[in-house]
Structure 1
Amino acid sequence: MTSDTVDEQFEADNLTVQIVDRILKERFSARFYLPIPVPRSAIEDIVDAANAGPSGFNMQPWNVYALFGSVKDALVKDMLAAFHADEPSTAKFDNMAVNVPEEFAARRRELGARLYGALGVSQDDLAKKREIQARNFRFFDAPVALIFTLNSQLKEGAWLDLGIFIQGAIIAARARGLEALSTPRYNDIIRTHLNFSPKDIVACGMAMGYADHEQVRQNYVRPAKRSLEEVLHIVGA
């Protein structure tokens, strides 16, 4: 390999680094979407790219269901009805646990304050907060809803694999100008709308579409991230 070839390869790799870093660092939780249809081919390409991700022993434990149109609308109708009836979540894991260590609970409270503050909603306005929470069950009016499932017999490693798969889908979506946001889960309701194995459980839902950037600018505040010094612990030279 000549020095010129090395220089060309370095320049190409440096451009790739800039693109990937930008996709990751400029990601945001899109809670507002434009009513622009997302082509089925785009979803196929996104999932195909994410499907190339790693998994322990190549078990590939994930499945994903893409809901469009009337199918998505029917699911939204049932989930909203359950939410307004105060039916308990039937999610198979709890990421809203009460006894969260204070270090993490503080970040959760800060996020809530930022989100409601950006929307001009006070913490004691329970009716308005509930109205905003209901948008979760509409998939934030995004044109596509994704449902990720996992075999219930698999353990923690499979959840790690699924997380990598979902991150891959988010990166692939952003590269195509789409945004995504995870949503709450009504496992039992979703099961009535999708024909998936009784051995599988719903891991999470996701809204996906073209973000309404004007609404985002008016109603979104980027949450604080921990500094590199807090997160990275270098051991050894």
Structure 2
Amino acid sequence: MSGPERAATGTGEGDVVAQTPINQILAGRFACREFCNAPVPRRTIEQILRIARFAPSGANIQPWHVYVLAGAAKDRVSTALLDAHENSRDEHVSEYKYYASDLPDPYLKRRQEFGRLFYGSLGIAQIDLEARSRQTAKNYTFFGAPVGLIVTIDRRLEVGSWLDLGMFVQNVMLAAAGRGLQSCPQETFAKYHRILRPLLSIPAEQMVVCGISVGKAKVERPVRLMPRADIDEFATFVGFET
């Protein structure tokens, strides 16, 4: 879900398209894993959520809920999750599966490539489990971001509502990017739902889906590490003239 990437503005013919404001926001968003300590006012987060709520949803049911954390409240969550990650991580599991147990190609190859590129960029050998664990732990400090979001969905809803939720989460990240901020969507928070539930008074019918770190990136334009498949790999055009 998260990756140390930055979209390029395009190559060839795409360069012309990428100059529009919305395309620049889309291309400029990246999963930030290193934030500076510049504060983000509550008013800014309210503005982000106020525009993100216009994400489409089937029958307008709007199946999302967001817990917005800052200051001491965020620190309490981080402390509890870091302790669990260090001392009892095997006792915790998410309430949903993010990846298929047996990933077919090309998805398996892409996931393997991600591991090579990501940990390679950090100088961490893939077999170095201790170093990888330390890197994972940074998730629970929200990568130093001043604001953390915990996103939930009503567990009584069906898979279609998860599609709606994904569009809402994307809206949050794009709205943040449009205000000069960056973000990182983090599925790993779902693993510790039993810890988050009492800390944030999350009702039983809500399932923890992910977290999102929000703040000002330390590096404004990091080098893109993660390649994106070209459109001929995922798009089928029917009915167009050659």
Provide the TM-score with structure 2 as the length reference.
0.86
In structure 1, C-alpha distance between the alignment counterparts of 2:226 and 2:22, rounded to whole Å: 21
Partner of 1:191: 197
* Residue deviations 1:29-77 (CA, integer Å, cap 9, x gap): 1000001110100000000000012110000111111100111111111
1:145-190 C-alpha deviation (Å, 9 max, x unpaired): 1011110000011100000111111110000011111121211111
Residue 218 of structure 2 corresponds to residue 212 of structure 1: yes
Per-residue deviation, 1:121: 1.4
Aligned to 1:4: none
Please give the secondary structure, in 2, of the residue aligned with 1:190.
helix
Instruction: Decide whether the 8 Å contact of 1:180 with 1:208 is kept in 2.
Output: yes
Aligned letter for 1:148? Answer: V
User: Which residue among 22, 25, 32 is the counterpart of 1:23?
Assistant: 25
Larger-Rg structure:
1
1:181 aligns with 2:184: yes
CA distance in 2, matches of 1:78, 1:140: 15
**What's 1:50 paired with?**
52
2:171 matched to which residue of 1? 168
Considering fraction of residues, name the structure with more helix: 1
Deviates more, 1:43-52 or 1:129-138: 129-138
Distance 2:45 2:183 in 1: 12
Give how far 1:122 is off.
1.7
User: Residues 111 and 88 from structure 1, CA distance in 2 versus in 1: closer, same or farther, beyond 3 angstroms?
Assistant: farther
1:105 has 2:108 as partner: yes
The CA deviation string for residues 2-55 of structure 1, in whole angstroms up to 9 with x for no partner, is xxxxxxxxxxxx999711111112221100000111010000000000001211
Q: How far 1:89 moved relative to its partner?
A: 3.4
In structure 2, give the amino acid aligned to 1:132. Answer: Q
Kept in 1, the 8 Å contact 2:17–2:23? The answer is no
Q: How many Å separate the matches in 1 of 2:129 and 2:56?
A: 43
Matched-pair contact (CA < 8 Å) for 2:182–2:216: yes
Aligned pairs, number: 221
Q: How does 1:114-193 map to 2 (within 5 A)?
A: 114-183=117-186, 184-185=188-189, 186-193=192-199
